[in-house]
A and B are shown apart, each in its own frame.
Chain A
């Protein structure tokens, strides 16, 4: 395993984690832009733009983009979050030049006005699809309530209103500002040679122009107003609750992640034994998400609507017990073993390595091989876990309830 990096003259960062024994290679453009970078009237533009990137370039129409990936059997996709828009592909090593030829080409899209109107309908369908999913409705509403007034409170998909009102000129402006090469990392993982990667990057991306763009990075502390979203037809009540957590700059992110695993992993955690094992709920977990300058512990609960309050109170009781008595040695060891094994399994595939690789370089300008990440998790102590919870208590939480029961209150 070797690591290489280079900054092209136009500012594009190019990195490779080479694994000669891999059977495939994965590559991705990590564009540092997402919903947190959008003014409210442009809510959803980053995600809509991600769709438009696949709609063609001066050299290829949308059908040719899909066809040129499919011809080489490449698996490609893209994702937009609060902070990043990532375009990725995985393929057999001999097809890397062909795959990057398409992937780099589409990162300079034509953003055609007619395509824009057609794709607008697809985005609205995607919004409707998520409207039929109570967990997504609750998650979006909880993020908005918790991060109210903070850039992380915006919706990734936007709303039918903001998407309908968006113009292609606004999207073109947004593209020009946010897709400049200093704002982009090209990461490659797996079976590829550095000389080839660098040559392809220079040839395919060397002519890109544009500058970097600053991002507002306010911290976030506190809880937001509770909210209930009535959905009478739902069979289950879905609750998402949020509390602040360390941000991605923090050395405590490994400890925070282990705290979430001990308390709220989908199996064998404290929430599992308290709620899932006795059949009180069909979903109860805690996860840790780090962002730039902020972080969040997300609590998810799905259960019978009449028992929602009692179950939420049980969760609060679990959190209080954990904070008061702290985790046990055994509990911490088990959580570490679980996380380490997942890291190894995921790291065995180039596609599994690509995501942490690109993200570490985007935000830390660091290469963190799997072994180093394992060492960081292994070094977490009980005191580290306690310190995280003192600095970032799990209670109180911003609580959003979705379903027939609108009487759910934040636990006291």
Chain B
């Protein structure tokens, strides 16, 4: 099932990955630039997101309005914004409009106007987004969990803080742009209907003379605390917890993915079965695998009425301990495998999701995994291997966060 892959690294460091999809009319790209919140100054949380909003407000010889107009004229569905590590620009359109779209976004990431008059509206918009997050208890709980679980800056959410967004000056933002928007470390994934030579030549023309810069050094700082409660008058208590596991490049990666999926990655997985199906304790409950290049975590979430939150947390913790001490069985492994393999194949029907996967693979591994390799690795897993791996989970390093009217007893 492996498709053809073209790849090229330009002398300035930019990596271009492209996978043709014979059965689609569309083409999509996913552009990751290491300019996310992890690279913003520690006293300006939110600066990366503000810059991400600033660059789209006029670039090259187009002002803010004509930039969005030309994208609409070309029928380019697009989204852009800062994340923890990267600033991501992704777009999809009919295949014939791929190169024009790339040209427009080359202006956006290399030659934004950065008109100072835009900064106050951007600040107002970012402050409103922060207020909306306060009104969204589930997202707030997960945002605050990551902040406490991962060492800073890896736990940062791009949304930032009221203080950071309020304090950022146009000079701060320009400095972030100059420092972080660079070709070295940038990854451009393309998938769909395109001609490789035309794409490669156009990317060379648009980005070949982009000057690399000096990498920003990351200074890690401890985070925490490992147990916390945020008091808020909500209908449901939010429970979020995380514990460390291995990243994508680790030899045990597939075991880690399997263990997380068996815990809470599909509808007959343990958390859904025990918390929702058998006990009716909540509507939403899951476990997922989240990774950076050199660290990763299993993240679990549940939202439930305050009077049943303690039982929900207890059952969730019990299921995690059972995974650590009791292993997994063949049937669970087969289900996990069937789900991940189907997802891989179905991903090849969407140019947008495939382009994102190409770029993400390169970030984690420095290469794109052929789908056959992924399928073979999944096929090779045994229940014993996954069980042994899960028995090594370091639950002492677990972070638990609750949000709601009353604190819980945290195991």
Residues on A close to B: CB < 8 A? 21-24, 62-63, 66-67, 69-76, 90-92, 118-126, 128-129, 131-134, 233-236, 238, 267-268, 272-273, 276-283, 302-304, 330, 333-335, 337-338, 340-342, 344-345, 348-350
Contacts and interface: CB of A to CB of B under 8 A. Distances in A.
A346 B278 CA distance: 36
A41 B64 CA distance: 52
A280 B124 contact: yes
Contacts of B136: 133
B131 to A, nearest CB: 4
Nearest to A282: B128
A118 B280 contact: yes
A372 B279 CA distance: 48
B284 interface: yes
A90 B124 contact: no
B72 A338 contact: yes
Contacts of A278: 121, 124
A63 to B, nearest CB: 6
A25 B88 CA distance: 31
18 contacts: A66-B266, A72-B338, A122-B276, A125-B280, A125-B283, A128-B235, A129-B284, A132-B303, A233-B232, A235-B134, A238-B135, A277-B121, A282-B129, A283-B132, A303-B128, A330-B69, A334-B69, A345-B92
A125 B68 contact: no
A350 B268 CA distance: 24
A341 to B, nearest CB: 3
Contact of A337 (B75, B131, B234): B75
A338 B78 CA distance: 11
A405 to B, nearest CB: 13
B98 to A, nearest CB: 12
Say which size band chain B's interface belongs to.
35 or more
Contacts of A128: 235-236, 305
Nearest to A131: B235
B221 interface: no
Contacts of B42: none
Contacts, number: 185
Interface stretch (B150-158, B194-202, B339-347): B339-347
Contacts of B331: 67, 71
Interface string B64-78: 110011011111110
B394 to A, nearest CB: 28
A121 B280 contact: yes
Interface in B73-124: 73-77, 92-94, 120-124
Interface stretch (B18-26, B32-40, B173-181, B383-391): B18-26
A238 B134 CA distance: 13
B161 interface: no
Interface in B262-291: 266-269, 272-273, 276-284
A342 B77 contact: yes
A29 B346 CA distance: 21
Contact of A91 (B121, B268, B273, B342): B342
Nearest to B22: A21
A125 B277 CA distance: 13
Interface string B220-245: 00000000000011111000000000
B344 to A, nearest CB: 10
A119 B277 CA distance: 8
A224 B239 CA distance: 39
Given A24-B349, A67-B268, A70-B266, A233 B233 contact: yes
A345 B21 CA distance: 13
A125 B340 CA distance: 29
Which of B72, B138, B341 gathers most chain A CB within 10 Å?
B72
A23 B339 contact: no
Contact of A334 (B72, B77, B134): B72
**What are the nearest 4 A-B pairs in CB distance?**
A279-B124, A341-B75, A73-B342, A73-B338
Given A267-B68, A277-B121, A282-B129, A23 B346 contact: yes
Contacts of B45: none
Contacts of B279: 118
A267 B135 CA distance: 23
A335 B71 CA distance: 11
Contacts of B92: 341, 345
Contacts of B72: 268, 334-335, 337-338
B316 interface: no
B129 A129 contact: no
B334 interface: yes
Nearest to A349: B349
Contacts of A349: 346, 349-350
Contacts of B346: 23-24, 75, 90, 349
B76 A341 contact: yes
Nearest to A279: B124
A70 B339 contact: yes
A102 to B, nearest CB: 11
B352 interface: yes
B304 interface: yes
Contacts of B397: none
A121 B23 CA distance: 45
Contact of B236 (A125, A234, A333): A125
Given A235-B135, A337-B73, A341-B93, A129 B236 contact: yes
Nearest to A128: B235
A132 B140 CA distance: 12
A268 B404 CA distance: 38
Contacts of B277: 62-63, 66
